[in-house]
Structure 1
Amino acid sequence: MSEITIYHNPECGTSRNTLALIRNSGVEPRVVLYLENPPSRVELSGLITRMGITARELLRTNTEPYEHLGLDNPAISDDELLDAMLAYPILINRPIVVTPNGTALCRPSERVLDILPDAQRGEFTKEDGEKVIDRDGNRVS
């Protein structure tokens, strides 16, 4: 069984779907409720590096602190963006999933299928009714 971690917000449908897809592969992941237990600066920076993205690409833009803090200013450095995400974890986009096959921001939720080490065990339909996995465990196009 594979070691998988998900940085999860249970209020987010994409995060719930991603968690369900992980479980559909037969794995119970380590669930980090990052709003209650935010990652350290070193952890967050490491996740960004492993995902191959910038701090700005991880930043949630549709939440109040983003506008209030003026984070749309392109002159704001990655270090300053990290400071903002650590001070306001709601600014961290989610879900982030870490597996032996890689680390990814799983938006859309089926992005997790690209890094899961274990195959899906059965049918899966997202909360919105979109079928993602057929009854044989195969990805639906």
Structure 2
Amino acid sequence: MTITIYHNPNCGTSRNVLALIRNSGEEPEIVEYLNTPPTREQLVGLIAAMGIPVRDLLRRKGTPYDELGLDDPKFSDDELIDLMLAHPILINRPIVETPLGTRLCRPSEAVLDILPNLQRGEFRKEEGELVVDASGRRIASSEDAAR
């Protein structure tokens, strides 16, 4: 089984997602996309597989988003993709591909919806929030309750 994570090791959400994948018993292919950015074809394929608008993949915090004026609707999807390829930090993360789907995993628990295997035990996020109980069941978060 192949699971791929487009990962930034400096991002807590990305580290939590990687740990959740491992807690399911899988060792994913890790693509540190800031060092090895996806090709245009890969990025377009990921966006299509996630079924999200290109703009939804843009990261604002800690990026040149504001400096480039990316709030301006004048930018076409192709132009936004070009900018993400030129500045990979603009690509939001982590993106995970599994046999069950592809997803931008924010919040980190979103990865649980596409992992083929159940969690093998308790999992807490780095900040201590319990996400999976000792029997491997997902804990409903306040965000889940709001949906």
Counterparts of 1:2-81 in structure 2 under 5 Å?
2-81=1-80
Work out whether residues 4 and 98 of structure 2, in 8 Å CA contact, stay in contact via their aligned partners in 1. yes
Shift of 1:55: 1.0
Q: Provide structure 2 residue ranges, at least 5 long, that are not aligned to the other structure.
A: 141-147
Which runs of at least 4 in structure 1 moved beyond 4 Å after TM superposition?
none
Deviations 1:34-78 (A, max 9, x none): 000000000000000000001100000223411111111012110
Shift of 1:91: 0.2
Amino acid at match of 1:111: A
* Partner Cα separation in structure 2 for residue 32 and residue 60 of structure 1: 18
Q: Provide structure 1 residue ranges, at least 5 long, that are not aligned to the other structure.
A: none
Deviations 1:102-135 (A, max 9, x none): 0000000000000000000000000111100001
SS for the counterpart of 1:53 is coil
SS for the counterpart of 2:106 is coil
Q: Quote the residue 1:109 is aligned against.
A: 108
Work out whether residues 63 and 89 of structure 2, in 8 Å CA contact, stay in contact via their aligned partners in 1. no
TM-score by length of 2: 0.94
Q: Quote the residue 2:117 is aligned against.
A: 118
- Matched positions, count: 140
* Partner Cα separation in structure 2 for residue 119 and residue 64 of structure 1: 35
Amino acid at match of 2:28: P
TM-score by length of 1: 0.97
> Do structure 1's residue 129 and structure 2's residue 128 form an aligned pair?
yes
